[in-house]
Amino acid sequence: MSALPTFSSLGSGPTVLMLHDADGGHLSFAPQVETLATAGYRAVAWNMPGYGHSAPVEPYTFKALAQSAVALVDALQSGPVTLVGHGMGAMVALELAVRHPALVHRLVLVAGGPALDDAALQDWVAPRLHALKAVDAGGSMEQLAQTLVPQFIGTGALPEGVRLAGHALAQVYPGAYRRALQALPTFDRGAAALARLAMPTLLVAGGQDRCTPPVALEALAQVLPDAAMVLMPHVGHWPQLEDPEGFDGVLLDFLAQRRTLH
């Protein structure tokens, strides 16, 4: 059995497990860990396999990533959890929910979730793979982050949040980043599987997100049986970092609607 993924945790109460995007790590949810803990939740932010000190998985597939997240949920011994997934993490959250719906009390999908179409591959995956070529040629992940992050933020992004997004991306191992980017196009959960997910779901879209445009999340919201969508007009691909106060308000409102004792 593979090693348990590493994570940060703060607070006590109903468990909220946060799954980051390919572009970061547990720091991608640093503001939310503090906010949720203060609000009476057990906030857990993992490092996806291959990220931080989490051992990689082989093969690097959504099935394997979901199984790693299941192992963490089991280890937390909290009962059903709320999953908050950002970008690729939203896809992992959906994969887990499809495979093990009894483990998921609620879903929050942030700037991700739908399977990638040709436009998303061109706008999301291709620029990142191209930027990795500079790392292969002797550049650093810090330089990659300085190049990529400004391309995908919104006009209303908080400067401190942008710096944190860049810092989180700079910590990613190049090999793990490549594996994650190569896995992104393989997410293939379609309407038939997703329509069976009965748990309450919140979709959060950045109005200026070129990786997962709002229209893609609107379409996903129509497929999920119990879904609502919130648009944050002036942010891009990192809503939780570009406007943490606004994002946290939306998240806490959603959690408060159906708070449980888990």
CATH topology of domain 7-257: Rossmann fold (3.40.50)
Q: What is the pLDDT of residue 78?
A: 86
Instruction: Give the pairing type, strands 7-10 and 42-46.
Output: antiparallel
Structure tokens at 246: 């606004």
pTM of the model: 0.96
Could you read off the pLDDT of 233-256 as tens digits, one per residue? 999 999 999 999 999 999 999 999
- List the beta bridge partners of residue 107: 83, 201
- List the beta bridge partners of residue 85: 19, 109
Q: What is the pLDDT of residue 130?
A: 96
Q: Which amino acid is at 75?
A: A
- Which residue numbers in the chain have pLDDT < 70? 1-2, 258-262
For the chain, the DSSP string reads: -PPPPPEEEE--SSEEEEE--TT--GGGGHHHHHHHHHTT-EEEEE--TTSTTPPP-SS--HHHHHHHHHHHHHHHT-SSEEEEEETHHHHHHHHHHHH-GGGEEEEEEES--SPP-HHHIIIIIHHHHHHHHHHHTT--HHHHHHHHGGGS--TT--HHHHHHHHHHHHTS-HHHHHHHHHHGGG----HHHHTT--S-EEEEEETT-SSS-HHHHHHHHHHSTTEEEEEETT--S-HHHHSHHHHHHHHHHHHHHT----
Distances (CA, A) of 88 to 25, 39, 120, 142, 156: 11, 26, 12, 20, 23
| SS (HEC) of 106-129 | EEEEECCCCCCCHHHHHHHHHHHH
Q: Which residues contact 7 (CB under 8 A, 6 or more apart)?
A: 26, 44, 45, 46, 47, 72
Could you read off the pLDDT of 124-168 as tens digits, one per residue? 999 999 999 999 999 999 999 999 999 999 999 999 999 999 999
- Using an 8 Å Cβ cutoff, are 216 and 114 in contact? yes
Structure tokens at 143: 């330089």
Q: What is the pLDDT of residue 3?
A: 82
Q: What is the pLDDT of residue 44?
A: 98
- List the beta bridge partners of residue 82: 16, 106
Please give the Cα distance from 38 to 32 (Å, whole number).
10
